[in-house]
Amino acid sequence: MRRLSRGEAANLVEDYKPLAALVRSDTMRARDRTPRPSLRRQFGQLGSAAKPLRIVTDCSGMEAPIFAIMSLGLIHEHVAASDSNKTVKKFWMAHNDPSKTYWYDDITTRNHNSLPELFGDVHMYVAGFPCQPFSRNGKNAGEADEWGCGTIVWHCIKTIKSIKPDSFILENVEGMVSSHPDTLTEIIRQLKKIGLYEIHAKILNAKFSGTPQNRPRLYIVGLKKSMLSRDFQCFQWPDDYDAPDLTHTLSPNEHCPKQLRKMLPASTARHACKTLCSCMETILTSGLNPLVDDCVCDIDSSGAHWMHNMSPCLTHARARGHWVISRGRRQNIEERLRLMGMNPNEVTRNIITDRQLGQLIGNSMSVNVLERIFINVFASTNMVAKNRMPQHWESKAAATQRLHSYYLHSM
């Protein structure tokens, strides 16, 4: 990909039209960028003498950002994390060292004024603030959410103002764009008001970044202007490509049912059976064979929602997984982790129940999408050379190979 000239960058606009009216980023306006000494000596690959990438996460959940950083092979220091969910805390404590990371049970009660001295320099801040208030699957109450989850984003912005990280990423559901544009506009305004950052916003779908799951999410990226050098390219969103086939995420060497009646859930699950039968009727009408073709049905939904060679979005409400019709069962934990871009072998299973883990998976960010964003953030801010980071999800072929490696680890 060739570099953009300063004139071209000045005329470039965000390519996602629904957001263009809401997000007028300072990013694409030409400016005098003072060259900054390279920071590549600071961050390097594992085993090097480089200093660690210092990262803070809020609404931490499964810690997809940390999984992504580790997957990129970058040494890092997890400065702080937070989550009000007790199950998340139990999972987090099993996968992280609490003696090396500040943990907060409640982001709304911590003293933001003390954070700069406590945290020190922070290179990356990531928060996937609660999506239920802005989701169709939630009550879509926005800031009026009865549990107060709709206001967590303002505490995330307070944290950004306080610690002033070199870069940040905020993530939420696409419903924020369509159903809560005023809230999104105010979020962007508050972030721009800080005065330190170039702001980018776009909806990215996991199915265009290497995993066959229909998971559109809004990402807001902020880059500290002082980190950008005159001779380096502007931040660019990852290019889209078609996902690998669903079969690359399904458990291998499994006996598949040979009769349609054996594909149905237990007879006691009447709603699920009714939904699945309706899905199979439309599948057969479309010319597909549910015995052979990999189709996934959301049997817990009110309508007949299914996808061919693709999984519907994994959510907190679908903690048991969707129904894989050709296998005659629900998606297992390993399959759902692969759909999130995670290596199942890196997740400890005996800490919480599978249902609880399914809820965490449904709330998590996609590791594959985060990896691709991280690569472009670190490259555009000159922190890490792009060719020093593995391109696991750069293309369909690379993604297929990555998912296949998860197979080998599981065997």
The per-residue pLDDT for range 49-104, each reduced to its tens digit, is 468 999 999 999 999 999 999 999 999 999 999 999 999 999 999 998 889 999 99
| Distance from C-alpha of 128 to C-alpha of 115, rounded to nearest angstrom | 20
| Residue 379 shares a structural domain with residue 289 | no
Q: Quick one: 200 and 281 in the same domain?
A: no
Residue 406 covered by a domain: no
Please, which residues have CB within 8 angstroms of residue 190's CB and are 6 or more apart in sequence? Answer: 154, 157
* Between residues 122 and 137, the one the model is more confident about: 122
Residues 222 and 345 in one domain: no
pLDDT tier at 143 (50, 70, 90 boundaries)?
Answer: low
Same domain, 229 and 276: no
Considering the domain architecture, whether residues 335 and 379 belong to the same structural domain is answered as no
pLDDT digits (tens, 9 = 90+) for 12-25: 334 333 444 443 33
Of 12, 4, 17, 6, nearest to 28 (Cα)? 12
Q: What values do phi and psi take at 203, rounded to 5?
A: -90, 125
SS3 assignment, position 137 = coil
- Residue 407 placed within a domain: no
Tokens of 137: 């699957």
Same domain? For 295 and 186 the reply is no
- The alpha carbon of residue 83 and the mean position of all alpha carbons in its chain are separated, in whole angstroms, by 16
Q: Is residue 194 part of a domain?
A: yes
What is the structure's pLDDT at 4?
Answer: 40
Q: For residues 291 and 218, state if they share a domain.
A: no
124 shares its domain with 208: yes
* 361 pLDDT above the threshold of 50: yes
* Number of structural domains the chain divides into: 2
Are 85 and 232 members of one domain?
yes
Q: Is residue 15 part of a domain?
A: yes
**Tell me: the pLDDT tens digits for 220-275?**
999 999 988 655 568 999 999 999 999 999 987 676 766 666 667 776 678 888 89
CB atoms within 10 A of CB 390: 14
Domain region containing 220: 11-239+364-392
227 falls within a domain: yes
In a domain, 4, yes or no: no
Which of 340, 361, 382 is the endpoint of a domain? 361
Q: Are 163 and 177 found together in one domain?
A: yes
Indicate if 202 and 228 belong to the same structural domain.
yes
> Where residue 116 sits, what CATH number does that domain have?
3.40.50.150
Q: 399 in a domain, yes or no?
A: no
The dihedral sign for the CA sequence 175, 239, 61, 163: negative
For residues 69 and 195, state if they share a domain.
Answer: yes
Q: What is the pLDDT of residue 151?
A: 82
- 328 φψ region: left (φ > 0), alpha (ψ -120 to 50), beta (else): left
In a domain, 198, yes or no: yes
Q: Is a pLDDT exceeding 80 seen at residue 7? A: no
